Every structure is written in structure tokens, then in C-alpha cells.
């Protein structure tokens, strides 16, 4: 008996920092006061639903492919989402409501109450298990977001292991905050090592906002200790974006997609999705920049200050035996 394999199945993962996707209600013990209707940003229900639909539109558009083809992304790794209510509204009541997405998310000790989540299509990814990795903060630092671990079965029959990361910010300076991100990277790689002891060739994806640019310490640690490849390192957009984030007129990528060698061989492409509707003129430095939701305290009715990454894989689909 010989197993037949055909490279016919396209599998797409999107990574997106949603930029402060808060609801309009106060969560007890969370510092979310900035995003309430009577607060400085006047975060009303109307603006909240507009933001949800904007993010939904963005995710749907990420399914566009060369040649005019389109397919709904199979997985969407999200960061800066506040709670389960937001994910329910996004997946059940926004423009995404007919996509059929299910979701899992963390419930982190982050002081602002923001978390990470994974949207998944149950038609192409059968959820098996999930849990959060809690990282204790170093002395003098605030709690950060948990790392989300999710495993599920793909159409190829292989079990895919996904980690969604939103590493500690660079607040206070890159050097001061670096040890905290290294601690997150260490916990992440320990989990991957444990996984590999059970299944050495397991396909692994790590996606999220690392708050580091390519080549910086925690990313290097993940790639070296975790035996991962940053497939997004040279990702570019088709409308001029040279990174997922723009700061003081310079493009750079704080968002990354890392994959194991067993998955890297299936990679078809990894790009920055920089559709025209996600961009706006940078009046201070020239060129274009992501169309974010607020400019300072001025409402901008935008999408996010980060552009999404889109990774596509050609999976070997099992079709039977001889």
C-alpha cells in the first residue's frame, strides 16, 4: 500500500495587530478608561462597530491572490483585542459574520486588558487543543500578554501547532525592555522544545507583534534556539510598503511570522498586504503610511497602525492509497 500525495491545498495565515480593538464597556481591574464613550477619545458604539467592520473588511481582503482569485484566510492571528465580547462581535456580528470563523483567545494579566486571539475556519482547521503560556514579569515591569498556543488538524491530515505572540513593548527604550522580550522568547522556545521531543517534525508557526525588528535579540533567540525561520523578514507590499509599521517616516516590521523547517518547505509566499484602502498620505514625512484609527486624539476612522502579513502554504493533501 502506497500513500498518494498531491500538492493541491492552499492554506493561508494572516497576522494582524488590530490597534486597540476595545469595546465601549469598562472591564473591572483593567485600565481601559481611554476607550469609553465619555472618555477623551469619545469611543462610542458607532465608532466601535465601524472599527469591527473595518477589521472584517481588511481580513476578507487579505484573501485576494494574484490573477484575481480569492479565498478566505484559514487562520488569522490577532493582537490588541480586548476580550471575548470583541471577538464574538467580530466573528458573529460584523462583516465577517458569514465567514464561519471560530476563535480562541487568551485572558492575560495585561493592565490595559488587551489579549491575543486566533480566528480559524473550522472547514480547514479542526481545533484539537489550546492553552495560554503565562510569563511572569521581571522585577519592575508590568504584566504582559500571554502567548496563545493552538493545535489543529489541517486538510493534509497533519497537526499544525500555532503560537500567537504580542511581546512587551519598547516603552522606556529598546535596551531597557529587551530582557522582558527575551524572557517571552525563552518561554516560547521551551514550549516548542517540549513539543519537538514528542514530535520532531511537527509543523510550527509563531506569528504576532514581537515589538522587535528583524535581527534584534529576542527574534534571533527564537530563530536559533527554536530552530525557526522568519519567513516574513523580506516581506514587501505591492503598493510600496517596506514594512508592517511606519515610524517617523521609516518603514520597519515589528510583526513577524516564524515557521519550522518542516513547514518552510511548504511556503508559497509571505507578503505585506498594503491595499490602497489601508494607506493614507504621511503629511509629516511624505509617502504613504498605514491608515490608523486615531491620529493622536483625532478620530481617523481607519484600520490599524500595523499592516497585515499574509503567508500562504501549499499543503500535501492526502487523497488515498494504492
Contact 165, 147 (CB under 8 A): yes
User: Can you list the alpha helix ranges (DSSP code H) found in the chain?
Assistant: 45-61, 84-92, 174-198, 217-225, 261-264
- Could you please report the per-residue DSSP string of 116-184? EEEEE-TTTEEEEEEEEE--PPPTT----PPEEEEEEEETTSPEEEEEEEEPPP-TT-HHHHHHHHHHH
- With H, G, I as helix, E, B as strand and everything else as coil, classify residue 168: coil
Contact 43, 35 (CB under 8 A): yes
> What global pTM score does this model have?
0.95
Write the pLDDT tens digit of every residue in 197-226.
999 999 999 999 999 999 999 999 999 988
- Cα–Cα distance measured from residue 44 to residue 258, given in angstroms and rounded to the nearest whole number: 37
- Cα–Cα distance measured from residue 75 to residue 135, given in angstroms and rounded to the nearest whole number: 24
- Cα–Cα distance measured from residue 307 to residue 58, given in angstroms and rounded to the nearest whole number: 9
Q: What are phi and psi of 117, to 5 degrees?
A: -150, 160
Q: Which residues, including other chains, have CB under 8 Å from residue 28's CB and lie 6 or more apart? A: none
Over its C-alpha atoms, the chain yields an Rg (Å, rounded) of: 19
pLDDT: which is higher, 174 or 37: 37
Angle, CA 98 vertex, CA 93 and CA 104 arms, to 5°: 65
Which pLDDT score, from 0 to 100, does residue 1 have? 40
Angle 217-225/174-198 helices, nearest 10 degrees? Answer: 10
Whether the predicted pLDDT of 168 surpasses 80: yes
Neighbouring-strand partners of residue 272: 309
Residues of the chain above pLDDT 90, percent: 88
Write the pLDDT tens digit of every residue in 3-20.
444 545 899 999 999 999
Q: What is the mean pLDDT of residues 85-96?
A: 97
Contact 309, 15 (CB under 8 A): yes
Amino acid at each position: 500500500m502506497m500513500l498518494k500525495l498531491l500538492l493541491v491545498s492552499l492554506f493561508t495565515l494572516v497576522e494582524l495587530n488590530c490597534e486597540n480593538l476595545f469595546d465601549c464597556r469598562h472591564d473591572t481591574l483593567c485600565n481601559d478608561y481611554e476607550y469609553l464613550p465619555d472618555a477623551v477619545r469619545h469611543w462610542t458604539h458607532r465608532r466601535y462597530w465601524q472599527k469591527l467592520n473595518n477589521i472584517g473588511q481588511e481580513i476578507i481582503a487579505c484573501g485576494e491572490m494574484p490573477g484575481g482569485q480569492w479565498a478566505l484566510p484559514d487562520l488569522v492571528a490577532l493582537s490588541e483585542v480586548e476580550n471575548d465580547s470583541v471577538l464574538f462581535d467580530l466573528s458573529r456580528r460584523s462583516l465577517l459574520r458569514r465567514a464561519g470563523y471560530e476563535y480562541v483567545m487568551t485572558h492575560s494579566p495585561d493592565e490595559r486588558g488587551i489579549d491575543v486571539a486566533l480566528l480559524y475556519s473550522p472547514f480547514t482547521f479542526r481545533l484539537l487543543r489550546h492553552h495560554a503560556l503565562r510569563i511572569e514579569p521581571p522585577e519592575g515591569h508590568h504584566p504582559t500578554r500571554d502567548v496563545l498556543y493552538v493545535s489543529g488538524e489541517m486538510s493534509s491530515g497533519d497537526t499544525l501547532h500555532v503560537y500567537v505572540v504580542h511581546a512587551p513593548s519598547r516603552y522606556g527604550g529598546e535596551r531597557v525592555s529587551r530582557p522582558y522580550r527575551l524572557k517571552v522568547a525563552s518561554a516560547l522556545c521551551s514550549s516548542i522544545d517540549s513539543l519537538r521531543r514528542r514530535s520532531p517534525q511537527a509543523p510550527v508557526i509563531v506569528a504576532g507583534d514581537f515589538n522587535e525588528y528583524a535581527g534584534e535579540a529576542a527574534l534571533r533567540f527564537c530563530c536559533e534556539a527554536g530552530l525557526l525561520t522568519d519567513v516574513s523578514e523580506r516581506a514587501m507590499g505591492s503598493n510600496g510598503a517596506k514594512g508592517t509599521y511606519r515610524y517617523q517616516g521609516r518603514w520597519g516590521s515589528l510583526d513577524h511570522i516564524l515557521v519550522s523547517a518542516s513547514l518552510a518547505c511548504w511556503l508559497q509566499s509571505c507578503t505585506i498586504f498594503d491595499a490602497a484602502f489601508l494607506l493614507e498620505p504621511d503629511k509629516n514625512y511624505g509617502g504613504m503610511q498605514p491608515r490608523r484609527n486615531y491620529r493622536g486624539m483625532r478620530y481617523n476612522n481607519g484600520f490599524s497602525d500595523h499592516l497585515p502579513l499574509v503567508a500562504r502554504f501549499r499543503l500535501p493533501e492526502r487523497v488515498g492509497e494504492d
